[in-house]
Structure 1
Amino acid sequence: MSGALRNKTVVITGASSGIGLACAGAFARQGANLVLAARRYVDLCALAQSLEQTHGARAVAVRCDVANEADCEALVQQAVTVFGGIDVLVNNAGVSMRALFADLDLAILHRLMDVNFWGTVYCTKYAMPELLRSRGSVVAVSSIAGYRGLPGRTGYSASKFAIHGFMESLRVENLKTGLHVMVACPGFTASSIRATALDAMGEAHGETSMDEGRMMTAEEVAGRIVRGVIQRRRTLVMTRQGKLAVLMNKLLPAWVDKKVYQLFAREKNPLVK
Structure 2
Amino acid sequence: MNVELADERFLILKDRFSMDHAEGRASTKRIDAFGTLAKVTGFLSKPKEDEFELVYRERRLQPFWRLVSAADYVYERTRRYPVAVPAAVETVAAYGQTLTAVDGQITFEGLETCREAVRKESLYDALTRQPDATLSKYLGFEGIAVEADRLQAAAGEETIVVPPVAKAPELIRDALSGVITRIEADRVIEEKIRVEAVELYYRPIYAFRYRRQGKEAVVEFDGLTGDVTTGGATFETYLGKVLDPAFLIDAGVEAATLVIPGARLAEIIVTKGIALARG
Instruction: Give TM-score, length-normalised by structure 2.
Output: 0.24
TM-score (norm 1): 0.25
| Structure with more of its chain in strand, by fraction | 2
Structure number having the greater helix percentage = 1
